[in-house]
Amino acid sequence: MSDAYFKVPQAINEKVLSYAPGSPEKAALKKALKEIKSKEVEVAMTIGGQKVKTAKKLSIHPPHELKHTLGHFYKGGAGEVKMAIDAALKAKPAWEQLPWQERAAIFLKAADLLAGPYRQKMNAACMLVQSKTVYQSEIDAVAELCDFWRFNVQFMAEIYKEQPLTVSGSGIWNRMEYRPLEGFVFALTPFNFASIAGNLPSAPALMGNVVVWKPAESQLYVSNLIMEILEEAGLPPGVINLVFVSGPVAGEVIFSHTDYAGIHFTGSTGVFQDLWQTMGKNLSNYRSYPRIVGETGGKDFIIAHSSANAPQVVTALTRGAFEYQGQKCSAVSRAYLPKSLWPDIKSGLLKDLKSIKMGNPEDFSNFMSAVIDERAFDKISSYIADAKKDKDAEIIFGGGYDKSKGYFIEPTVIVAKDPKYRTMCEEIFGPVLTIYVYDDEKYEDTLELLNNTSPYALTGAVFAKEREAVMLATERLRHSAGNFYINDKPTGAVVGQQPFGGARGSGTNDKAGSILNLYRWVSARAIKENFVSPTDYRYPFMAEE
């Protein structure tokens, strides 16, 4: 096959629009926000291409404006999960037979629809449902999801092109067939990124798999819109089936099914570990060993060396810890700062935080909004309440919270006297940053301390001007983060540029949006064809002398 056969459009990252005052995108977004707020929508499950409703109808509200109703969704149960599996298995033969270019075209078209006619509808939905500012929505729900869809097509073509050695004239042809997995894939997605919600079912589907997709309940309005785009792009019925059920109900049906072939998960570490144990217990029931891909929690760090530039550290802390209310898996939640720089960093950080506005993302001057739901609010505020009482912790900024109108929590900074204080170790997943101030001469010891403080290893950053300090951190923290940054905040990974994923308790590190991830969704078959098959079992060495 010539190289041209594997040529696909060259993927480049989707441009992030500015939404500056007077820009056409801002005008279009305002219109879309108004439209979404003016009507209540009915969000139904999508199973085998059909919209499925049940008797259980629940309302959807913006986390920052609880009195407003955006619409309702229909909650399913075990029956709908079974229907989704059946629909997926029914769609499988035709989908996996489809030439790969046809599958690619569907996802490339979905990206262009999202970047074009659906862009502001998606941003408006994401702002209202997930309480994101327009910038946070644009980089996630538009740019990153477009990137996943486009780059994955390119990686798929690269995988298919990779073929074993065959020497012309040798009488044989060796081929590698990148088969989809036998059975169906379960995509279990978190609330915090629309791009992840869209990518987890799409990546296996692109490789020819069929999928049952269960999004987080607080995010399903946006997931439904992603499904609408995929359908508009021509995704055949049953290839991806979207169900709204509780996690344990879905797990119960899926993990006991013989045709369960793998999970594409992003979410918390505890949930992932429980799921893995369930799969282990059911292992002998499965046709194949399931592929287990899970990107999970983090306790992401910044360490600054005494040679660092204080204002740069301040900006990295403010953006890294508090954008999207600290609800990014990559958000900075612990920082190790040298005593000599602490006064400057502290005053800069407090100045930044005092200037931050929090509220409804429809007011574009807000930098922060509400956290996702009451469970998150209660969990995060309990950490803050404890810190107020603990002698090892001092809250130097924020500490307030209020859920009367929406789930609002002030950006909060804790200074820990004990470097192993709870909030230096555990994932809080909210706008809470804990800082430990170390003696300048203990930089090396502090790297050691950092490395041994939490079970996670997702993202982290070092700030230093001295190259030796950079090198030392890079070496000592080799296993402390799957995404490591030098003089940059540890959030905002870009598809194709910084493939994302962590190790240790943070996941299987299969790097979403990279070729590594796509390899997990194929089970290769090596094919050898002999053009002139031998007709005598004897080898020449056996002949009489």
Distance of closest approach, residue 209 Cβ to ligand NAD, in angstroms = 19
Sign of dihedral through CA atoms 327, 499, 118, 240? Answer: negative
Angle at the Cα of 516 from the Cα atoms of 514 and 517, rounded to 5 degrees:
75
With contact defined as beta carbons under 8 Å apart, do 435 and 467 qualify? Answer: no
Measured from the CB atom, is 237 or 247 closer to ligand NAD? 247
Report the residue closest to ligand NAD, judged by CB. Answer: 247
The pattern of x and - marking residues 150 through 189 that bind ligand NAD according to CB under 6 A reads: --------------------------------------xx
How many angstroms separate the Cα of 126 from the Cα of each of 36, 142, 360?
A: 11, 10, 13
- Binding to ligand NAD by residue 271, rule CB under 6 A? yes
Tell the smallest beta-carbon distance from residue 201 to ligand NAD (Å). Answer: 12
Amino acid at 493: A
Backbone angles phi, psi at 63, to 5 degrees: -60, -20
- By CB under 6 A, name the one of 71, 77, 236, 247 that touches ligand NAD: 247
* Residue 425 known to be catalytic: no
Binding test (CB under 6 A) with ligand NAD, winner from 50, 174, 268, 366: 268
Residue 190 touches ligand NAD, criterion: CB under 6 A: yes
Rounded Cα gap, residues 376 and 423, in angstroms: 15
Cβ-based neighbours of 457, under 8 Å, separated by 6 or more = 479, 480, 481, 482, 502, 503, 504, 505, 506
> Which among 14, 144, 295, 323 is annotated as catalytic?
295
Q: Are residues 244 and 73 in contact, defined by beta-carbon separation less than 8 angstroms?
A: yes
Q: How far is the CB of 494 from ligand NAD (least distance, A)?
A: 14
C-alpha 50/C-alpha 471 separation (Å) is 56
Binding mask 382-401 for ligand NAD (x = CB under 6 A): --------------------
**CA-CA distance, 141 to 511, in Å (whole number)?**
18
Determine, following the binding rule CB under 6 A, whether residue 427 of this chain makes contact with ligand NAD: yes
Query: Which span sits near ligand NAD by CB under 6 A: 91-99, 121-129, 214-222, 310-318?
Result: 214-222
**H-state helical runs in 98-180:** 100-115, 119-130, 134-137, 145-161
371 Cβ contact partners less than 8 Å away, ≥ 6 residues apart: 63, 131, 325, 327, 377, 380, 407, 408, 409, 430, 431
215 vs 399, beta carbon nearer ligand NAD: 215
Question: Among 216, 222, 341, 384, which residue interacts with ligand NAD (rule: CB under 6 A)?
Answer: 216
Q: Tell me how far, at minimum, the Cβ of 296 lies from ligand NAD, in Å.
A: 5
The residue annotated as part of the active site, out of 80, 329, 362, 427, is 329
Q: Judge contact between 251 and 282, C-beta under 8 A.
A: no
β-sheet bridge partners, residue 193 = none
Q: Supply angle C-alpha 268, 270, 275, rounded to 5.
A: 95
282 contacts ligand NAD (rule: CB under 6 A): no
Piece of the chain touching ligand NAD by CB under 6 A; list 51-59, 292-300, 334-342, 444-452:
292-300
Q: Which is nearer to ligand NAD, 344 or 426 (CB)?
A: 426
State how far the Cα of 351 lies from the Cα of 452, in Å rounded to an integer. 32
Nearest distance, CB of residue 14 and ligand NAD, angstroms: 19
Of 242-250, 314-322, 399-407, 518-526, the window that binds ligand NAD (rule: CB under 6 A) is 242-250
Nearest-10 crossing angle of helices 220-232, 100-115: 120
The answer to whether residue 138 is catalytic is no
Residue 458 binds ligand NAD (CB under 6 A): yes
- Mask: binding to ligand NAD, 474-513, rule CB under 6 A, as x and -? --------------------------x-x---xx------
408 belongs to the binding site for ligand NAD (CB under 6 A)? no
Using an 8 Å Cβ cutoff, are 181 and 520 in contact? no
Least separation in angstroms between residue 251's CB and ligand NAD is 4
Interface residue with ligand NAD among 180, 198, 201, 267 (CB under 6 A) is 267
- CA–CA separation, 333 and 389 (whole Å): 20
Q: CB-wise, 128 or 233, nearer to ligand NAD? A: 128
| Cα gap 146→139, rounded to integer Å | 10
**Binding residue (CB under 6 A) for ligand NAD from 63, 183, 201, 251:** 251
Alpha carbon 473 to its chain's center: 26
Residues near ligand NAD (CB under 6 A) are 188-193, 196, 214-216, 247-248, 250-251, 266-268, 271, 274, 295-298, 329, 427, 429, 458, 500, 502, 506-507
Q: Mind telling me the catalytic residues? A: 295, 329
